[in-house]
């Protein structure tokens, strides 16, 4: 199973995109009107709630197969792990709240959008921690990144020859 | 009786009880695996839990069907009984037969079989019995309104969870401020339900009960995150697999709190 690609970094993009899209749709619906925008706001959030259950579950799966020594990366990882279920809980609560508006076919109030702003903030912190784990600490990254090309500021002739100790 | 997202209140209650069965089986497995399944009775929660899970899901899909209702009531009663017997076992093997017995009561309560944990199976069983009977159209059971009984079961369960978490968080020396959440929020939520039942027409009582049950629901997810973090604080973290989980905070317990909070909300708003 260890050779399988990690699913967590794939699913997390659905959680992020669907939650953010839901808020945008609802905001647009509040500004512009239109039942279809409000419907899109509900369905994207409902789908996000479903996907995020998978996101959290695959996150635990990723951790199970990721040996990591104590250090800064592990500290980031612990915070990321703690925030995952917390985000899911708040997302589920928001989904139930949003469902009540959808069932009554009424537009979402500003208090709902303000609360969703808080949820987006939490999601941003969680996403940043996840990004640090992958792009800074290489969690579950197999192989190596190709080095980015570097331009030397000095002309070719002034660059010290390779293997020559400067000052010798 | 009203519905939510196309499902009636009793269907939600049954699905939540099924989820409760899954969560309590996860914790029971870890606890009983840790003690090596030394008694055959330690398999009982899985037999009873699986039957409860299947019957609860089945009767929530087809509520009111006589055979399924009877099966759900039977498996619910079995779970209720299995939980009570389990509590007796936990008491006997966890305290009475341990060196020092009752003279070392606090030590045994903290370090051996959790005394209140088996009651989670009883609670799930009771909710399935009530959900199945309510789903078949009955308003009362044993002369009491079903809504009252559901809220009563949730209240007792919240107090039990608060007690069990108080013991285990005391063992963990309340090393994290979040460990106070269940010992504060859960009794308050239980008290607010009692207030609501005593004064059903009081809007404030209903509103406060709803707010505290939502706090219970969210607190459960905060607990789940913190327990996951606690597991990763074991040497080697979760990558050590069973070795990391076995002595760590129980993974299912905080989610049981969340599910109970949701069950209370269902009873409050949908029954």
Q: Which of B267, B254, B259, B216 minimizes the C-alpha distance to B18?
A: B259
Residue A83 to residue B225, Cβ atoms within 8 A: yes
Q: Are B53 and B24 in contact, with CB atoms under 8 Å apart? A: no
Whether A164 has a pLDDT exceeding 70, the answer reads: no
Q: Per-residue pLDDT for chain B (271 aa), expressed as one digit of tens each?
A: 578 999 999 999 999 999 999 999 999 999 999 999 999 999 999 999 999 999 999 999 998 899 999 999 999 999 999 999 999 999 999 999 999 999 999 999 999 999 999 999 999 999 999 999 999 888 889 899 999 999 999 999 999 999 999 999 999 999 999 999 999 999 999 999 999 999 988 899 999 999 999 999 999 999 999 999 999 988 888 888 888 888 889 988 999 999 999 999 999 999 9
- Comparing C-alpha atoms, which of A94, A95, A18 is closest to residue A55? A18
Q: How far apart are CA A103 and CA B229, in angstroms?
A: 37
Where residue A143 falls among pLDDT bands split at 50, 70, 90? low
Q: Residue A154 — very low, low, confident or very high, per pLDDT cuts 50/70/90?
A: low
- Is B3 in the A-facing interface, judged by CB distances under 8 Å? no
Q: How far apart are CA B32 and CA B29, in angstroms?
A: 5
The answer, yes or no, to whether residue A119 has pLDDT greater than 90, is yes
Contact B232 A63 (CB under 8 A): yes
pTM given for the model: 0.90
B178 part of contact set with chain A, CB < 8 Å = no
Nearest to A12 by CA among A57, A44, A75: A57
For residue A3, is pLDDT > 60? no
Q: How far is A88 from chain B (nearest CA, A)?
A: 7
Give the highest mean pLDDT range of A62-66, A154-158, B49-53, B141-145: B49-53
User: What residues of B are in contact with residue A60 (Cβ under 8 Å)?
Assistant: 228, 238
pLDDT bin (cut points 50, 70, 90) of residue A1 is very low
pLDDT at site B241:
84
Residue B239 with chain A: CB contacts under 8 Å: 63-68
Query: Is residue A156 predicted with pLDDT exceeding 80?
Result: no
What is residue B235's predicted lDDT score, i.e. its pLDDT? Answer: 86
Give the per-residue pLDDT at B29.
Answer: 95
Give the pLDDT of residue A57: 95
- Using the beta-carbon criterion (under 8 Å), do B217 and A85 form an inter-chain contact? no
Q: Which chain A residue has the Cα nearest residue B178?
A: A82
More confident site: B247 or A84: A84
Nearest to A63 among B224, B225, B238 (CB): B238
Which residues lie closer than 8 Å to A161 by C-beta, 6 or more apart? none
Question: Which residues of chain B have a CB within 8 Å of the CB of A63?
Answer: 232, 237-239
| Closest residue to A86, CB basis, from B5, B222, B233 | B222
pLDDT of residue B108: 93
Alpha-carbon radius of gyration of chain B: 19
Q: Does B241 touch chain A (CB under 8 A)?
A: yes
Nearest to B241 among A64, A79, A83 (CB): A64
Please tell me the least confidently modeled range out of A17-21, A122-126, B3-7.
B3-7
Alpha-carbon distances of A40 from A23, A37, A44, B177, B225, rounded to whole Å: 10, 5, 6, 39, 30
Which carries the bigger pLDDT value, residue B177 or residue A140? Answer: B177
Q: What are the backbone dihedrals phi and psi of residue B98, each rounded to the nearest 5 degrees, phi first?
A: -80, 150
């Amino acid at each position: 199973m260890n050779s399988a690609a990690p699913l967590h970094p794939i699913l997390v993009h659905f959680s992020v995109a669907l939650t953010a899209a839901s808020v945008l749709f609802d905001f647009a619906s509040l500004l512009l009107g239109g039942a279809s925008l409000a419907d899109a706001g509900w369905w994207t959030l409902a789908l996000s709630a479903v996907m995020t259950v998978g996101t959290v579950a695959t996150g635990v799966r990723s951790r199970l197969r990721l040996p990591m020594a104590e250090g800064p990366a592990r500290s980031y990882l612990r915070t990321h792990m703690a925030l995952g279920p917390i985000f899911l809980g708040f997302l589920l609560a928001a989904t139930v709240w949003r469902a009540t508006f959808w069932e009554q076919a009424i537009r979402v109030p500003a208090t709902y959008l303000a609360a969703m702003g808080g949820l987006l903030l939490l999601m941003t912190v969680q996403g940043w921690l996840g990004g640090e784990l992958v792009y800074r600490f290489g969690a579950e990254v197999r192989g190596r990144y190709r080095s980015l090309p570097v331009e030397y500021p000095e002309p070719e002739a002034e660059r010290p020859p390779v293997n020559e100790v400067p000052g010798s | 009786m009203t519905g939510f997202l196309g499902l009636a209140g009793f269907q939600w209650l049954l699905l939540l009880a099924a989820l409760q069965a899954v969560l309590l089986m996860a914790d029971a497995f870890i606890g009983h695996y840790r003690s090596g399944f030394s008694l055959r009775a330690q398999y009982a929660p899985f037999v009873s839990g699986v039957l409860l899970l299947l019957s609860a899901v089945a009767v929530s899909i087809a509520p009111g069907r006589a055979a399924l209702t009877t099966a759900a009531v039977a498996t619910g009663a079995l779970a209720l009984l299995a939980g009570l017997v389990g509590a007796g076992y936990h008491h006997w093997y966890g305290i009475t037969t341990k060196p020092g017995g009752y003279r070392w009561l606090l030590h045994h309560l903290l370090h051996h079989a959790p005394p209140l944990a088996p009651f989670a199976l009883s609670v799930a069983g009771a909710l399935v019995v009530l959900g199945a009977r309510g789903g078949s159209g009955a308003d009362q059971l044993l002369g009491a309104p079903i809504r009252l009984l559901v809220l009563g079961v949730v209240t007792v369960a919240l107090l039990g969870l608060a007690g069990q978490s108080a013991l285990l968080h005391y063992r963990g020396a309340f090393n994290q401020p979040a460990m106070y959440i269940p010992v504060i929020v859960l009794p308050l939520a239980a008290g607010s339900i009692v207030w609501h039942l005593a004064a059903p027409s009081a809007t404030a009582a209903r509103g406060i009960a709803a707010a505290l049950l939502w706090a219970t629901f969210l607190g459960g997810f905060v607990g789940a995150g913190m327990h996951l973090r606690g597991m990763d604080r074991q040497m080697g973290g979760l990558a050590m697999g069973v070795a990391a989980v076995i002595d760590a905070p129980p993974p299912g317990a905080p989610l049981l709190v969340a599910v109970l909070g949701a069950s209370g909300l269902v009873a409050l708003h949908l029954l």
